[in-house]
Amino acid sequence: MPSHRNRTDAAPQVRGSALLIALGLALLTPHLLAQTAAPVAGGGGGNPCTEFVARLPNVKPLLCQAAQLQPTQGRSVRGRPLYARDVIAPEAQLRVLVVGAIHGDELSSASLALHWIQRAVETPSNAHWRFIPALNPDGLMARPARRVNANGVDLNRNFPTPNWKRDAKVYWEQRTRKDPRRWPGPNPLSEPESKYLHDEMERFQPDLIVSIHAPYGVLDFDGPSVPPARLGRLYLDQVGIFPGSLGNFGGVHKGMPVVTIELNSAFRTPLDAEMRQMWLDLLRWMSERVRPEKPASPLPVRVNKTG
């Protein structure tokens, strides 16, 4: 049996160890809290479906899992992976880039992109599809969801259109009266999400860009070619161009036709039959109007190559 003196001598050592542990926890606590405050979607490159299914309207686990989303090299401000999926037809002639949730509070736009991945797999076409369902995951996963990214920037005003420095600032100050939901940012491509999409356009060289938004219930178009008159129940209503917008940059400046879909609701998707009809109308218009400048050649694919 140890003597009472031995137990008494050990007490200061125990108290000292406890103090060291407490000090270590105090130093670690801010770091742990910061990690908790800014979680990474999909576990930092894992399966994003846990968050997408919990957040997006009309997205069931099976639909999301079937989309087979893969993390790209892109990351959001808070480090969330930007996910993508390639679906490549055997005789692909067109390259089509589909982008959802540029604005994080337009939840239905990401849902439609996920539904259309399934359509692309099931429906014969002559396209190499590249889907980016949620370009702004930080805004999408915020509570409540936010139009802007984690830096407070409207990504759809952050693309490098000509005279951006002059026009974007004037438009934001005079036309929007400094609406914080439409702040174009300090510089063009200041945000990692818009920079990723810009670089992806350079890598992929799409013949067509489909940008999905909500909730104005119209169809918009920028760039060369004759626009589609309608997709499902959405009719063409060209609303003009904005400094720093994807339609302005891609369609007008780069000559890549941009179809902008404005769904009727940011929080509900159209019915399944309506989403299918929109898809078929898009395919029909593409076959009639969209022509590649040169035959498509194989590209290195950084995301899942199936379909």
196: domain range? 47-306
Predicted pLDDT at 37: 32
Q: Return d(Cα 123, Cα 286) in angstroms, integer.
A: 14
Predicted pLDDT at 163: 95
Facing residues of 132 across strands?
99
| Same domain (yes/no): 63, 28 | no
Is there a domain that residue 220 lies in?
A: yes
| Same domain (yes/no): 15, 160 | no
| Same domain (yes/no): 21, 123 | no
Is there a domain that residue 106 lies in?
A: yes
| Same domain (yes/no): 57, 185 | yes
Q: Return d(Cα 157, Cα 247) in angstroms, integer.
A: 10
| Same domain (yes/no): 231, 277 | yes
Predicted pLDDT at 293: 60
Q: Return d(Cα 136, Cα 142) in angstroms, integer.
A: 10
| Same domain (yes/no): 7, 57 | no
Question: pLDDT tens, 184-205?
Answer: 999 999 999 999 999 999 999 9
Is there a domain that residue 278 lies in?
A: yes
Predicted pLDDT at 299: 46
Q: What is the pTM of this model?
A: 0.82
Predicted pLDDT at 259: 98
Going from the first residue of the chain to its last (307 residues), give the mean pLDDT of each consecutive group of 10, the final group possibly shorter. Answer: 36 39 37 33 65 98 98 97 97 96 98 98 94 98 98 98 95 96 98 98 97 97 94 92 95 96 98 98 92 53 38
Predicted pLDDT at 179: 97
| Same domain (yes/no): 11, 135 | no
Neighbouring CB atoms inside 10 A of 107's CB total 27
Predicted pLDDT at 241: 85
Is there a domain that residue 42 lies in?
A: no
Is there a domain that residue 265 lies in?
A: yes
- Interhelix angle for 272-289 vs 107-122, to 10°? 70
Nearest to 109 by CA among 137, 130, 128: 137
**Residue 75 is part of a domain; what is its CATH number?**
3.40.630.10
Is there a domain that residue 152 lies in?
A: yes
DSSP strand pairing (258-262 vs 208-213): parallel
DSSP strand pairing (258-262 vs 218-222): antiparallel
Predicted pLDDT at 290: 77
What one-character DSSP code corresponds to residue 58? T
| Same domain (yes/no): 104, 124 | yes
| Same domain (yes/no): 166, 282 | yes
Quote the number of domains for the chain: 2
Which secondary-structure segment (H or E) carries 246? helix 246-246
Is there a domain that residue 41 lies in?
A: no
Q: Return d(Cα 39, Cα 298) in angstroms, integer.
A: 36
| Same domain (yes/no): 163, 192 | yes
Predicted pLDDT at 46: 65
Which secondary-structure segment (H or E) carries 52? helix 49-55
Is there a domain that residue 231 lies in?
A: yes
| Same domain (yes/no): 20, 84 | no
| Same domain (yes/no): 21, 163 | no
Beta-strand runs (E) in the chain: 70-75, 81-88, 94-99, 127-132, 208-213, 218-222, 230-231, 234-235, 258-262, 305-306
Predicted pLDDT at 294: 53
Q: Return d(Cα 98, Cα 119) in angstroms, integer.
A: 13
